[in-house]
Amino acid sequence: MNIYSLENIQPNTAETVNKKKTVGESQQQFADSFKKAIDSINKAQHESDQKTEALAKGEIDDLHDVMITAQKASIMLQTGVEVQKKMVDAYNEVMRMQV
């Protein structure tokens, strides 16, 4: 379970600094980064569900691991929701700008 930092989203290399990107390339890179983050959240939620179900069936007995996995998934989901809210707010702010 990786939580992506800003360094992971957009690498700061000489190649990316010197190369001019088109709007389409920037949009695609943003979409790919966002999809990776959503997939990571989904994977964490799925893993938490599997461990909880296994605990309920008696297949595993490590309650601490199940609770830690569930808490990680919860925090990742809460963070994802907050990022989504900020993105919507930023979009609305850009749409209100006068050109």
| Domain range enclosing 62 | 22-96
Residue 83 lies in a domain: yes
Residue 10 lies in a domain: no
pLDDT at residue 79 in the model: 95
pLDDT grade, residue 98 (50/70/90)?
confident
CA distance 26 to 44: 27
pLDDT in tens, 30-44: 889 989 999 999 999
**Does the pLDDT value for residue 90 go beyond 60?**
yes
Residue 16 lies in a domain: no
List of residues 6+ apart from 38 with CB closer than 8 A: 80
Residue 87 lies in a domain: yes
Q: Are 83 and 36 in contact (CB under 8 A)?
A: no
Residue 14 lies in a domain: no
Phi/psi region, residue 78 (left: phi>0; alpha: psi -120 to 50; beta: rest), is: alpha
Going along the chain, which residue ranges are E strands?
none
Residue 17 lies in a domain: no
Which pTM value belongs to this model?
Answer: 0.70
